[in-house]
Amino acid sequence: MRGEAAAGIGFEIKCYNSKLHMQIRVGKRIIRRMNFILPALLPGLLLLGGCADRGDTPPKISAVPVVVAQAKRQAIPVELTAIGTGQAYKTVSVESQIAGIVKDVQYRPGQFVQRGNRLVTLDDRPFLASLAQAQANLARDTAQSQLDEAQVGRYKQLYDQGIVPREQYDQYLATASSAKATVAADEAAIQTAKIQLSYCSIYAPISGVTGAQLVYPGAAVKANDVPVLVVINEVSPIYVTFSVPQQYLGPIKGFMAHSRLPVQAIPRGDSRTESGSLTFVNNTVDPTTGTIQLMGTFANGDHRLWPGQFADVTLRLAEQQNALVVPSQTVQTGQDGDYVFVVQPDKTVKTENVKTGRTVNGLTEVLSGLTDGQTVVTDGQIRLATGTKVYFTNGL
């Protein structure tokens, strides 16, 4: 350090250091004004400038904490993933078989119903009257038929005795046969009236969940006409439809020929997996998208899958044996492609370029660049470079 004073100029302080060259010039007039703080200012300036030469030795860098894993060989599934949509196993639009007035509605919108549960009741009084009329006609025509049968018996004796001609006997015989036919028609009319009466009580044809309520008491309905009474969707079991690129059609058909292919679906907004099997491959490829539609069937006992709901679908085709895999977070992407940090025996790391394959269940297949048993870094890569010393935080 050197201090020099010059008339009219003041003095300058120069501090030379291998890392810092600091020069302070102080004017004469400024000194006069600051002479009361200069004794306190100079020690701080000297410390700030690092005038005491401490050398150029860099600070010692400690090891970087990382999480590691080992590359290993294991079987991984060969899978296809897609977005699927729930579809009702059966859909039935319940309609009235007769024209009538709605008397009562026994279902609630969105209710789960069992096959045979009563849904709607129509006013049955007109049909009870029709049944009573048909029964009365049967009684009348039965009596007439019995009379005609008795006449045939008498004229048969007279004809055998030669008292009446053949033509007269045949006339009574035809009349009796006509009366029998009338009785049969009346019996059929009674059965029709009973069937019409039974249509006044409308039951669920399948088990499922009802849709919105479409009719109310007092509404007039027609036979097999709108409005329908209710729509029922069977949701247990349920279908999930999804599409995959057409190039997978051949492998899918080949694997299906040997076994049922398992399908897993995770409804959107849920984390639990529903298991089913592939049951349908469409008979045509969609030319606009180049995809083939598939359908999986799921038991859906807890009704987590729903018609129209999106789900993440995974179709498992087979298992690939002896694949070399690492946790997916191990693989980093750089300018030269994918790479990983490999831990050396001296606890330093180096980068290795790798070629990767499929990613399944958090594991990435490594096609080249690694060998079985090598230790790789799975977490903490941001602080690493080739040659960095590391220590393990997960006990490996």
Q: How far apart are CA 41 and CA 293, in angstroms?
A: 83
Rounded to the nearest integer, the mean pLDDT of the chain is: 85
Q: Which residues contact 362 (CB under 8 A, 6 or more apart)?
A: 327, 328
pLDDT of the residue at 358: 87
Structure confidence by residue, pLDDT tens digits, 205-253: 999 999 999 999 999 999 988 779 999 999 999 999 999 999 999 999 9
- The predicted-structure confidence for 348-393, as pLDDT tens digits, reads as follows 999 999 999 988 889 999 999 999 999 999 999 999 999 999 999 9
Lowest-confidence region among 14-23, 176-185, 256-265, 378-387: 14-23
What pLDDT shows up at residue 227?
Answer: 78
Q: What is the mean pLDDT of residues 334-339?
A: 92
Strands 64-70 and 390-392: parallel
Q: Which of 2-16, 41-55, 58-72, 344-358 has the highest mean pLDDT?
A: 344-358
Which residue's entry shows tokens 């006997």?
A: 169
For 391, residues 6+ apart whose C-beta sits below 8 A from its C-beta are 63, 64, 65, 66, 347
Q: In this predicted structure, what is the pLDDT of residue 161?
A: 83
Q: pLDDT at residue 342 above 50?
A: yes
pLDDT beyond 50 at 119: yes
The 10s digit of each residue's pLDDT in 160-201 is 888 888 888 888 889 999 999 999 999 999 999 999 999 999
The CA distance from 274 to 143, in Å, is 68
